[in-house]
Amino acid sequence: MYRHLLVPVDDSELSDRAMSDSVALARRLHARITGFVAEPATPAAGTGYGAVAYTRAMKAHDARTAEHARAVLGRFEQRAKDAGVPFEGVYGRGDEVDVAILEAAREKSCDLIVMCSHGRSTLGDLLFGSHTRDVLARSELPLLVLH
């Protein structure tokens, strides 16, 4: 059965559900969890900043996103700890969330990815995009989608 779950989270209500449900699942499977937060890449250069101002903006962005990731992963870690589930939290940066999720799963040797979905219609997916759909299309690992 599955022994190592990758659970991508952010700071949303769906993410809260992914945390709760994945901890319960991992506990039943005697599995461990790697929680993952995908943060946006550093803002592109040439957006009206001078070199010094851009460097400051980049550092501020990196600090802000790192703090956000640590906060989200800290809440997730506490839930796992309370349930006796081994947990590691990691975050990455990038413009393509699905690619970042799949890279994290590969790097951490996970055997199942657990994600929540809004459950929008196909039209909704086309209008709003779907990280879950993109992960499903590209992943060689099983994907458990919570609705």
CATH of the domain at 33: 3.40.50.620
pLDDT tens-digit readout, 41-94: 876 665 555 777 778 888 888 999 999 999 999 999 999 999 999 999 999 998
What is the total count of domains within the chain? 1
Alpha-carbon span 131 to 111, nearest angstrom = 19
Taking CA 40 as the corner, what is the angle to CA 64 and CA 42, rounded to the nearest 5 degrees?
75
User: Quick one: how many helices (H) and strands (E) in the chain?
Assistant: 5, 5
Domain that holds residue 15: 4-146
Alpha-carbon span 35 to 73, nearest angstrom = 7
Alpha-carbon span 66 to 7, nearest angstrom = 18
pLDDT tens-digit readout, 86-137: 999 999 998 899 999 999 999 999 999 999 886 655 554 543 448 888 998 9
